Amino acid sequence: MKKKTLLCGIAALLLPVFSYAGSFTRQGNYVTINMLQPTQNGAQQIRLEVINSKIIRVQSALGRIVSNKKSLIILPQSTDTPFNVVEGKTDVKVMTAALTAYVSKKDGRITFLDKNGNILLREANKGKTFQPITVDGKNGVTWHALFDSNRDEALYGLGQHQSNDMNYKGKNEDLFQYNTKVSIPFIMSNHNYGLLWDSYSYCRFGQPEPYKQLNRIFKLFDKDGRAGGLTGNYLQADGKKITRTEDSIYYEDFRLIKNLPQSFRYKGARVTYQGFVEANRTALYRFILYYAGYIKVYLNDKLVVPERWRTAWNPNAYKFTFNMEQGVRIPIRIEWLPDGDVSYCGLRANVPVSETEQDKLSIWSEMTPDMDYYFIAGNSMDDVISGYRKLTGKAQVMPKWALGFWQSRERYKSADELLSTFKEFRNRKLPIDNIVQDWLYWKEDDWGSHRFDSLRYPYPQMMLDSLHAMHGRFMISCWPKFYITTHNYKELDSHGWMYHQAVKDSIRDWVGPGYLGSFYDAYASGARKMFWCQMDDNLYSKYNHDIDAWWMDASEPNIKDCTDMPYRKALCGPTALGPSTEYFNAYALENAEAIYDGQRSVMPNKRVFLLTRSGFAGLQHYSTATWSGDIATRWEDMRAQMTAGLNFSMSGVPFWGMDIGGFCVEDRYVAAQQNFDKTGEENDDLAEWRELNARWNEYGAFVPLYRTHGQWPLREVWNLAPASHPCYKSIAYYSKLRYNLMPYLYSMTGWVYFKDYTMMRGMIMDFERDSKVYNLTDQYMFGPAFMVCPVGYYKMRSREVYFPAACGWYDFYSGKYFAGGQTCNVDAPYEKIPLYVRAGSIIPFGPDMQYSDEKKPELINLFVYEGANGSFQLYEDEGTNYNYEKGKYATIEFSYNDATKTLIISDRKGSFDGMLNDRRFNVIRVGKDKVQPFDLNTKGTLVSYSGKKLIVRL
């Protein structure tokens, strides 16, 4: 004991001591600096941690002590990167081989430069500010970080949001979790750097101040010009009318809607808010519209928000801007059809700031121990994402079957219904791998038991065996929600691992008479283990590990719809780690960890697949995909998924999907389907419904997760339309093509793990120097070859496509060549999505299949597109296990030389059990002088390959 005490004392003497302002110390890979003249509410101490030559962590503290918190998102990092520290008169310079960080000794302002001395990013003057915050007795800081941003900069990431923003430069985005909204604290620049901030609290990107009610920003006048508010007209379906003055429009959550006329019936009603708004300064004003039901907004007699719709129980938010002049009254009109017994409507605006200020890169975080961010430099945007995954974890190689088609609906109500649906796919020769069991497979009053209702699912093992015999896979919904009467609730609660506020407040859900329940605390490690054990006991091990995938719904967590922020925090806290104010956004990450670690502890060599409605930084590490939640069956929602999915992928999490066709259905589509079921007639609404689903499936075939899901009408293709209908034909065509592309798709999943690749790619990722792609919202790259151009409007039969200038392009279907650097109006017939292939691409196509591993691709049709040099790496492994982690996989490199028209097929590298030792490649050349329509029966140059290098002259 004395020896230990003595050693500890000596060690303490050896620790760095801060004896004067402006000093710095270096210890290991840390450099700590005290400020000479800290600004008011600014950092007093800064610590830089060199992670590697391209990544530097920055911690800043309001006080003298920088916390040593355990991160939820950052994995343990090696610390062996060489770097130098040089102290100048005014700054401390930390230098690696690729990156330099200058830190001002005066106020801590940091500038990041590349190895050539070019500025990548610089904190703004007074760019770090702090305010103390105490919640539930725990101290922390609210912080704001501000960075200068060049005018030519474009910014991407932040997760998945629904306002159809692609480039976040100069934009605002609130970062919290919500059904259809997934927030990730990561932003990436076209200048090839990224910022990842280690905060789990509510954050804001852009202006740090929240949107304010209209009367806080503008002078309001009613429709007759009287000051004080807008005129609100409420017209009930039976003709009853209420008119009153509205001091603002703020009916956005279950508390605020109490300020609506309480005697008014909103189902079938019409509401109009009108009058005038007057700005106190000339500026571009930024608005956010909260809505459920149907809504339109007019400003100055211009339609600034065309009709939008969301189901009444799941409102959405939409952002728009409008230029206004000081002192000028302009008319405003909001037309709202609530479309529900309870509905929501709100319009707010930001206090305008200068364009220079708005264009800065701004991050605000509500509560953390200190400011903590990682600066990630790269040679490309792919390289930046690689750095992000070094910090937060590798993305796994997904099971091969996960790339096949997923059929889902809300919901299959019995084992017979589920099996008969899958069997019908097989009978119709429609490819499918996966079918999904949504919620309420349990008894009505048994939510959280994870047990099948024995009346509707009498023999679950037999159901699973029958499905597997048809070469199907099964995913089941498991919520983190428990009724208080269940054994699982009581077991978790006995350890203090249940959130109690919902039970205290007697919040009853929408099932049957309404039942009491709540969610478990996923921030408690013991709770995560118990949650998995309950799933394992009642589902996984009970049914011989035959459940293939897990659907983790409502993982925000969403304990009650449409609540205000303070009450949301009360419902999901306090957590085992601290107040929910601090631990607000990372629930889905912790929940995913529970399932991933749990399954691998039981079946360590069976690949895990999770689908979750929410997510966070690091989610990819747990073999988890995210889908975009309960979106609407609307064209604007389909368009919004394009930017939502792209920015989510560019947030470092590569596997994403959506409810193809939309989840929440407008009544007009329901009525149209009911009419067809009675009469066999396709009315105008049914024609639009079918075209919406066709267009959405055309787009959905080119995202990482190809999955259809939604409420009634039923979403199986034969329920959407007869086999002779163009809707059916289009869906069947792209489903078949998806399976032909399996060698291409599965190779990309290998690259995701081994190369940190991103499958669904904003155009900027491949064409960084082309400013015309910065803001493209409806074109993207799917892998290295395909430029996908979805059709997002009803009856659109042509659309504009920009062809980036860096290369030439081929129409996938016809083989027609398009020179780069031009915008063309291209055909978009009902049954075809405009799809183009980059010159220099090499694309492997496999055989027709009914499921992902039906046939080994002994013959691969290899399409080679002339016009540039190109390469492709074919990746293969055993498809369902983790043997790839042990080196059991194989790759074949293809390289094309455009000058010599020569394709080189390299020696195969690696091997795995069941590998094809011998195969054939049918090499098909597509060129400007050799227009070649896509046809897998095309006779090309056929070569036999046994793993040794081949040279093929085309």
SS (H, E, C) 911-942: ECCCCCCCEEEEEEEEECCECCCCCCCCCCEE
Residue of 630, 666, 756, 866 marked active site: 630
CATH 2.60.120.380 fits 212-352, yes or no: yes
Q: Is 29 helix (H, G, I), strand (E, B) or coil?
A: coil
pTM attached to this predicted model: 0.97
d(CA 653, CA 323): 36
Is there a catalytic annotation at residue 301?
A: no
DSSP 284-341: EEEEEEEESEEEEEEETTEEEEEEEEE-TTS-EEEEEEEEE-BT-EEEEEEEEE--SS
pLDDT of residue 22: 59
pLDDT of residue 16: 39
Residue 165 and residue 205 in contact, taking contact as beta carbons nearer than 8 Å: no
Let me know if 238 is exposed, middle or buried by CB neighbors in 10 A (0-12, 13-18, 19+).
exposed
SS (H, E, C) 896-910: EECCCCEEEECCCEE
Q: What is the CA radius of gyration of the chain?
A: 29
Which residue in this structure is represented by tokens 């070859």? 785
Please state whether 884 falls in left (phi above 0), alpha (psi between -120 and 50) or beta.
alpha
State the pairing for strand pair 610-612/549-552: parallel
pLDDT of residue 299: 99
Assigned fold of 401-608: TIM Barrel (3.20.20)
Residue 610 and residue 550 in contact, taking contact as beta carbons nearer than 8 Å: yes
**CATH, domain 2-148+193-199+369-377, list 2.60.40.1760, 2.40.30.10, 2.40.50.140, 1.10.10.10:** 2.60.40.1760
Averaged in consecutive runs of 10 residues, what is the pLDDT profile of the chain (954 residues)? 32 35 85 90 95 98 82 94 96 98 96 98 96 97 97 98 98 98 99 99 98 98 98 97 98 96 93 99 98 99 99 97 98 98 97 95 98 98 99 99 99 99 99 99 99 99 99 99 99 99 98 99 99 99 99 98 97 98 99 99 99 99 99 99 99 99 99 99 99 99 99 98 99 99 99 99 98 99 99 99 99 98 99 99 99 98 99 99 99 99 99 99 96 96 99 98
Q: Is 207 helix (H, G, I), strand (E, B) or coil?
A: coil
d(CA 409, CA 418): 10
pLDDT of residue 66: 75
Q: Which token pair is 499?
A: 């959130």
What does each C-alpha distance from 170 to 120, 357, 793 come to in angstroms?
18, 9, 27
Residue 339 and residue 314 in contact, taking contact as beta carbons nearer than 8 Å: no
E strand or H helix that includes residue 738: helix 726-740
pLDDT of residue 9: 33
pLDDT of residue 5: 33
d(CA 692, CA 639): 11
pLDDT of residue 38: 87
Do 2-148+193-199+369-377 and 753-953 have matching folds? yes
Residue spans of the domains in the chain: they are: 2-148+193-199+369-377, 212-352, 401-608, 753-953
| Residue 810 neighbours by CB under 8 Å, 6+ apart | 816, 817, 818, 836, 837, 839, 865, 926
Assigned fold of 753-953: Immunoglobulin-like (2.60.40)
d(CA 122, CA 360): 10
Let me know if 854 is exposed, middle or buried by CB neighbors in 10 A (0-12, 13-18, 19+).
middle
E strand or H helix that includes residue 525: helix 525-535
State the pairing for strand pair 405-407/293-299: unpaired
Half-sphere exposure of 630 (CA within 13 A, CB side): 20
DSSP 259: G
Bridge partners, residue 86, by sequence: 93
d(CA 658, CA 544): 30
Residue of 173, 372, 446, 556 marked active site: 556
- Our CA angle for 341, 345, 350, nearest 5°, is 165
Is there a catalytic annotation at residue 630?
A: yes
Residue 286 and residue 353 in contact, taking contact as beta carbons nearer than 8 Å: no
d(CA 348, CA 250): 8
> Phi and psi dihedrals of 274, rounded to 5?
-145, 160
Residue of 49, 253, 521, 553 marked active site: 553
Q: Which token pair is 10?
A: 């000596």
Q: Which stretches of 821-915 are assigned E, i.e. beta strand?
A: 822-827, 835-838, 842-845, 859-865, 870-876, 889-897, 902-905, 909-911
Is there a catalytic annotation at residue 685?
A: no
